[in-house]
Structure 1
Amino acid sequence: MRIFKIVNDSAIAAFLRVIFLGGATVAGMPLTSAAEPSHALAMFGKPALSADAPGLPYANPDAPKGGMIRFAEPGSFDSLKPWVLKGNAAWSVGVHVAEPLMLRSLDEPFTLYCLLCETVETDEDRSWVAFTLRPEARFSDGSPVTVEDVIWSFTTLGTQGHPRYAGAWGKVAAITQTGEHALRIEFSEPDRELPLLMGLRPVLKKAQWEGTDFGASGLEVPIGSGAYVVERVDPGRAISFRRNPDYWGRDLPLLRGLYNFDVIRYDYFADTNAMFQAFKAGEVDVWRETRAVKWATEYGFPAVASGRVVKSEIPHRRPSGIMGLVMNTRSPLFRDWRVREAMILAFNHQFINATLTGGTDPRITSYFANSDLAMRPGPATGIEAELLAPFAEQLLPGTLDGYALPEGAAKMLDRDSLRRAVALLEQAGWTVQDGVLRNRDGAAFAPEILLNQSGSAMRAGSEMQQIVDIYVQALRPLGVVPRVTVLDSAQYVQRTNRFAFDMSWYERGLSLSPGNEQALYWGSASAGQEGSRNWMGVRDPAVDAMIAAAVNAPEDDTHIAAVRALDRLLTAGRYVIPVSYSPLSRIAHSARLHYPDTPTAYGDWPGFLPDLWWEEPPRPD
């Protein structure tokens, strides 16, 4: 189902009038320039770098090549195909082996520079995009990257690949070869982000996969055009990549200072505690610390004291994203917003944050906190209010007027919030009977909280368990006794792909240029699509409309207003019980590893580590 199809015609007309015909802040604003081949493409405005730029300004062009970097990963893997839903894939294959047509800048909200392509071209309305490939582009086996490979990759990913590719592909009307090295993609509906999304699609070798069941998982080593090739695979335990000395792009100015390590290795561990112990023992080179209190108090081990390990803090200007316990609205327990609000009220973040993290990191107050995209306190105004107006009668309390999370209390039980939670539960038909919260039919309110024993990208499994343990105790006065289920990573992925849970730990990183990926995270079409990231099961025409408004905004001010409106809808939707976030990344690493001094808007983000890092032996004292 496409976004525009799930919003009624009057609502579409209303918010499109705001975008294209609205007030003085929008009317008369120019769109992009006329179509002509370019070296780059920006979502808004012009790319920061010229075609003859000597390289990315935040990379170190003099970084030495060589050495090795070793990472730790939780859980295991049984597939080398991160482009499909089936299996538990080693995600690193998609990062190091395959390349897209264009490379994303880490210091611009959403700007892409030509990589496999030599030029990119699109029209004023972005109803089509054309790419011309670099004739010198090669796969690691020496064969050329062809237009045929690109067309096959895009078509196959869109029809047989992971669901994350399906949404954009559903808006492609045609993809055709227009020359020996050229192709053109026509779009079937308005979506100004689509040319950039096509630029980010991975390009795979058609001859390797044609005639096979591409949607199946497997351990066949993929052939890509990237800087690295798979060197060794120990299924479930480790995977290593070696820099390809014949990499076709090694002399591109755009890539100066990138891809410096000879070997990149990922070792898999049963849980995050084992990973950290391996780091302390020198078996792993990098550790991202998510807990401020641990960063301050538990890094006195010998490797740090001797200087063999150093602590680095990487600032960023990206949104906080959302992280915490998600409530699945597919479950009858969480369909009523009042129940979800009661569960949020019972979560005493002030006490949990102080107990587990020292209280230094701020709480996530909305999905786009820590950025200009975040909703502002108080009522919606201007374009933001106009975008929401067609849906006013269906909006949950707090959406238009402003919504804020409870402040919490210093003690474990926030009694004032618990009293408010009881009242909301009673309104929703839940009362305490013989010490147990039950509905009118006598069924107990006993949600299952699903956790991954291996932890997540941002939280150790033990920390999640501590947070949940405190929360479970706080729920007892309400008569709520959740069932906590801890699974290994493979079982956890299977369950969450099928949305087979009531509550679970949820993390979604968000960029400075939200677009079509928002439909995969919380669009109506993704709510019933297994493997999507819409774990909460959002089905809201207003959310779909704001996503459509964001991707079709002709200029930045309208885009910001649409994202702020989306932020209001999601936050007031009470889908996630958010925890804290860090406005910087804390990375402990071997002293032989270095990174550029120039900060970027995204900080520690895909494309930063290990891409920009290098190895130098420690200097003697």
Structure 2
Amino acid sequence: MMRRVSAILAAPFVLLGLAVAAVAATTPGMSLFGDLKYAPDFKNFDYVNPDAPKGGTMRLFSIGTFDTLNPFVVKGVPAAGIGQIFDTLTVASEDEPGSEYGLVAERIELAPDKLSVLYTLRKEARFHDGTQMTPEDVIWTFETLRAKGAPSYRSYYGDVTKVEKEGERGVRFLFKSAENRELPQILGQMPVLSKAYWSGRDFEKTTLDPPLGSGPYKIESLDPGRSITYRRVPDYWAADLPVMKGRFNVDTIRYDYYRDATIALEAFKAGQFDIKLENSSKDWATGYDSPALRAGLIKKEEIPNGLPSGMQGFAYNLRRPLFQDPRVREALAYAFDFEWSNKNLFYSAYKRTRSYFDNSELAATGVPQGEELKILEKYRGQIPDQVFTTEYDPPKYDGSGNIRDGIRAALKLLKDAGWTFKGEKLVNDETGQPFEFEILLDNPQFERIVLPFAKNLERMGITARVRTVDPAQYQKRMETFDYDMAV
């Protein structure tokens, strides 16, 4: 996934409603955003070829190593592609946002008060050993993931108060409140694990024993830490379901591991694996020049990204008094020269993030109108007046590195906010404290992006220290709000 960097001053406003189809066997699924695209009697997703031939081998790659085939717990590094051996209650369609359709679940019923959801399992749902998937398996999976799985599961399922069997094939989840409208979908994404298989096994330990699955692939072989090969299940129970028809056509999928991205790129150019999704603009622009490319043995293709891109940017910790004044936050945004970074660091491959919901119909454009304006009117006087009159537009430069006009505008904002120069440092008029803060990173690759930003801040008399920590420490500091600014 391509990552984007921006300085954002915006606020998200979205109303999410969960639409669930009727409770009959024709129930196709559920959507966060109104009606489902696919009718109850749909035959297959539009983006698949239902008559695609089966066969062949696909060679893929991964970076680093792996030491477990249990991807659900904290311990260990799970093997690439391991999710292909497990089926879930529902699956997402790739050509509509926020929609899920039944896989293991045949029917989905959301209670009128939205305080519970009932999943009815398909009679034909089977594990790879031929045993039937049961409500007991679903309940055991839920309780085990919440009690022994990665911490994210406890967060995901925190609003579930109870899970119980209903009828012969039903599982009902009861909720604390109706506020979390995405919760039924989150539960639908839960894998279904075999209670019988895991009985007598330690779920919390790492393991290299292939676990019992139910998905379109089984583990065929592995070389621990170096490679893993999956084989398509010829009698896969869900192969002819509308949500699976025309998918998972390759007989064998092999992942080989490489120490780092540089070695992986060289291996790809040497023909060691078949497909490489590139997320480095530098490598895309310069790294693939090779005899194989010139001979037509490698095909480079840029595929338009039709998915919402989300937001990545500089996040202020508003618990810090330093950032309480919105004029200060607006001023600091002038120091980020996106155009220079895009030209010199990213080979002009990126577009500026302008919304928390970029590249989607939910991204705000223009000034508020209609229902959006109606919502915002309730907060007039509590939010900046320009929200109602001016479209958000981040500072823009010509890419030359000359941002004097931006610095001039920033210094005026800072002066109005009570900051003036003393020597070469910007200090607070009331306290005399210099303007200093730390920018927290979890990846050293971001340093080349953030350091020019810090250099521009220095021209404004501001000291910004860039600190890179490991992901675990980063996560802890974010959770405890122990940071000034973070990317």
| 1-structure distance, mates of 2:130, 2:21 | 38
- On the 8 A contact 2:411/2:460 being kept in 1, the answer is yes
Q: Provide the residue aligned with 1:40 in structure 2.
A: 28
Aligned partner of 2:300: which letter?
Answer: K
Q: Contact between 1:41 and 1:196, CA under 8 Å: does it hold in 2?
A: no
**Contact kept in structure 1, 2:90 and 2:104, CA below 8 Å:** yes
Please, which runs of 5 or more residues in structure 2 have no aligned partner?
1-12
Quick one: structure 1 residues 255 and 183, their matched pair in 2 at CA, closer, same or farther if it must change by over 3 Å? Answer: same
Answer yes or no: is 1:129 the counterpart of 2:117: yes
Distance across 2 between alignment mates of 1:399 and 1:91 = 47
Separation (CA, whole Å) in 1 of partners of 2:318 and 2:66: 30
- Cα pair distance change 1:433/1:235, threshold 3 Å: farther
Q: Is 1:447 the counterpart of 2:429 in the alignment?
A: no
> In the alignment, what sits opposite 1:26?
none
Amino acid at match of 1:494: A
Note if 1:474 corresponds to 2:462: no
1:243 correspondence with 2:221? no
Correspondence 1:272 to 2:254: no
Which residue is 1:421 aligned to? 410
Q: Which of the residues 44, 49, 52 maps onto 1:55?
A: 44
CA distance in 1, matches of 2:258, 2:230: 18
Task: Report if aligned partners of 1:33, 1:124 keep a CA contact under 8 Å in 2.
Answer: no
Aligned 8 A contact 2:21 2:27 in 1:
no
1:566 corresponds in structure 2 to: none
SS at 1:286's partner residue?
Answer: coil
Q: 2:305 matched to 1:305? A: no
Q: Which amino acid aligns with 2:130?
A: G
TM-score scaled to structure 2, two decimals? 0.81
Note the C-alpha offset of 1:87: 4.0
The residue that corresponds to 2:153 in the other structure is 165
> SS at the partner of 1:342?
helix
User: Which residue does 1:497 correspond to in 2?
Assistant: 475
Query: In structure 2, what residue type is equivalent to 1:165?
Result: Y
Work out whether residues 23 and 107 of structure 2, in 8 Å CA contact, stay in contact via their aligned partners in 1: no
Residues 223 and 200 from structure 1, CA distance in 2 versus in 1: closer, same or farther, beyond 3 angstroms?
Answer: same
Q: How does 1:463-612 map to 2 (within 5 A)?
A: 464-485=446-467, 492-499=470-477
Q: How far is the alpha carbon of 1:283 from its aligned partner?
A: 2.2
Query: Quick one: distance in 1 between partners of 2:204 and 2:383?
Result: 39
The 8 Å contact of residues 74 and 269 in structure 1, kept in 2 or not, is answered as yes
Q: 1:448 to 1:309 in 2, by over 3 A?
A: same
Q: Which amino acid letter does the alignment assign opposite residue 168 of structure 2?
A: E
Per the alignment, in what secondary structure is the counterpart of residue 131 of structure 1?
A: strand
Letter in 1 for 2:125: A
The whole-number CA distance in structure 2 between the counterparts of 1:122 and 1:198 is: 12
Question: Are residues 269 and 447 of structure 1, via their aligned partners in 2, closer, same or farther at CA, if it must alter by over 3 Å?
Answer: farther
Contact 2:75 2:204 in 1 (8 A): no
Aligned in 2, Cα 1:48/1:448: closer, same or farther, shift over 3 Å?
Answer: closer
Tell me, what secondary structure is at the counterpart of 1:499?
helix
Identity of aligned residues (%): 37
Deviation at residue 164 of structure 1 after TM alignment: 3.8
1:139 aligns with 2:146: no
What is residue 152 of structure 1 aligned with on the other side?
140
> In 2, Cα distance between the equivalents of 1:273 and 1:425?
44
Tell me if structure 2 keeps the 8 A contact 1:121–1:129. Answer: yes
Cα distance, 1:432 vs structure 2: 5.3
CA RMSD in angstroms, aligned pairs only: 3.8
Task: Tell me by how many angstroms 1:346 deviates.
Answer: 0.6
- Bigger relative contact order, structure 1 or 2 (CA pairs below 8 A, ≥6 apart): 1
Give 1:509's aligned residue. none
Could you say if the C-alpha distance between residues 155 and 96 of structure 1 is closer, same or farther in structure 2, counting changes exceeding 3 Å? Answer: same
How many residue pairs were aligned? 470
CA contact (8 A) 1:83 1:94 kept: no
Report if the CA contact (8 A) 1:97-1:228 is conserved.
yes
- Aligned match of 1:71: 60
Counterpart-to-counterpart distance in 1, 2:453 and 2:475: 25
d(CA) in 2 for partners of 1:174 and 1:315? 43
Pick closer, same or farther for the CA change 1:243–1:290 going to 2, 3 Å: same
Q: Distance in 2 between matches of 1:339 and 1:263?
A: 56
Please, what TM-score do these two structures have when normalized by structure 1?
0.65
More moved, 413-422 vs 234-243? 234-243
Determine helix, strand or coil for the equivalent of 1:498.
Answer: helix
Distance 2:486 2:410 in 1: 16
Partner Cα distance (2:49, 2:213) in 1: 25
Offset, 1:374: 0.7
More helix by share: 1
Q: Which residue of 1 aligns with 2:241?
A: 252
Amino acid aligned to 1:154:
F
Residues 45/471 of structure 1: CA separation in 2 closer, same or farther (3 Å cut):
closer
Find the aligned partners of 1:253 and 1:32 in 2 and give their Cα distance. 18
Q: For residues 302 and 173 of structure 1, do their structure 2 counterparts lie closer, same or farther at Cα, with a shift above 3 Å needed?
A: same
1:289 is paired with a residue whose SS is: coil
- Aligned equivalent of 2:10: none
Distance 1:423 1:307 in 2: 56
**Cα distance in 1 between the residues matched to 2:439 and 2:123:** 55
* Aligned equivalent of 1:175, options 139, 163, 182: 163
Number of the residue aligned with 1:281: 270
* Cα offset, 1:409, TM superposition: 3.4
Give structure 1 stretches of 5+ with no counterpart: 1-14, 21-29, 454-460, 501-526, 530-534, 538-574, 578-621
Q: CA deviation at 1:104?
A: 1.3
Alpha carbons 2:67, 2:77 under 8 Å: kept = yes
Q: Give the Cα separation in 2 of the matches to 1:339 and 1:213.
A: 53
- Per the alignment, residue 567 of structure 1 pairs with none
Q: How do 1:334-345 and structure 2 match up within 5 A? A: 337-345=326-334
